[in-house]
Amino acid sequence: MLSAGLSQVQCGRFDVYRVNPPLVKAVAALPVIAVGCKTDWSRFIDRSWSRSGFLLGYDFIAANGESSLRLMTLARWACIPFSLAGALASYLWASHIYGRTSGLIALSLWCFEPNILAQGHLVTTDAAAAAAGICASYVFWIWLRRQTWGSASCAALALAVALATTLSWLILLFLWPLLFAVWWFTNHLGADAAPYYRVRIGRSAVQLSLIMSLAIYLLCVSYQCDGMFVRLGCYHFTSDLLTGDTGEPGATGNRFAGGLLSDIPVHPTLGHDALLEQDLKTSSPVLAQTPCRTRADGFLLASNAAHTIRKASFQ
């Protein structure tokens, strides 16, 4: 991860470690570059299927020797603020709904949660993704209550940070409009709804469109607009889902090439997400094929959505 961040900041390349977006890696690399470090890019492989990040990580340690421990410490320190942001969002959100005591309980749960303690100081996206998701959801909840242009801008920024942290939060691009629609229909329609709220839906829809559009634009900026909106048919995928029937195991391909969807412009993270599927099958084939994992993820997503709607409606 650190070598990938160094390649992003120093070389402007995002293909050393393609699976996750660049934010956490870049944040970890900034203090390392500030104090100075040695790099070795001789084993970098410029191929869509390559995973050079691990080899470059070994080369980074070999080039810097004992000082690599100090550099890794600085990179880890730089990632701790992500965990602090998650703790703050947990406290504020619970405090606004249930009071200060509940906020302190939520803060304690976050700070002493085993996964946060284990991942919060590492140069990985796990704790940062959890924190970014909580912060984005909290800011979106604020926007649902206030519906101002300022809160909409903050929600767009928070969503962009979440998207630039992990691809898992792409679901928010579909979940937030759904939550907004359910919240609106449960609060502002019916015989008891004031005419003011019926007219206000136009401005709210425009603000929601601003949130989505600005977040996607900022995500593109995080990639320095590298490879933005390349045609779908031009990509070379490695996952079985997107390659189609290539006839060779492990061969690259594109099931969309030459088809109706070939000319659609897409974000390069689509290709990166395909590598994540390949990693999952390679490292844990049992986990990749476990139906319980999919059902559990769906249950947690549905529960979170219902909880957000209920609390926004209550407020």
| Dihedral over Cα of 10, 12, 16, 19: its sign | positive
pTM: 0.74
Q: Answer yes or no: are the C-beta atoms of 86 and 110 closer than 8 Å.
A: yes
So what's the pLDDT on residue 273? 47
pLDDT in tens, 266-279: 655 555 544 544 54
Give 78-82 contacts, CB < 8 A, sequence gap 24+.
78/27, 78/28, 78/30, 78/31, 79/24, 79/27, 79/28, 79/120, 79/121, 79/122, 79/123, 79/124, 79/127, 79/128, 80/120, 80/121, 82/24, 82/27, 82/120, 82/127, 82/128, 82/131, 82/132, 82/165
pLDDT in tens, 281-306: 444 333 334 343 334 344 444 444 44
So what's the pLDDT on residue 248? 59
Longest distance between any two alpha carbons in the chain, whole Å: 72
pLDDT tens digit at each of 315 positions of the chain = 777 767 777 777 776 776 778 888 888 888 888 888 887 777 776 655 556 667 777 877 888 888 888 888 898 999 899 999 999 999 999 999 999 999 999 999 999 999 998 888 888 888 999 999 999 999 999 998 888 899 999 999 999 999 989 888 989 999 999 999 888 877 766 545 555 555 577 788 889 999 999 988 888 887 776 656 666 666 666 666 666 655 555 566 666 666 666 666 665 555 554 454 454 444 433 333 434 333 434 444 444 444 444 444 334
So what's the pLDDT on residue 197? 53
List the domain boundaries for the chain.
Answer: 2-225+293-314, 230-292
So what's the pLDDT on residue 4? 74
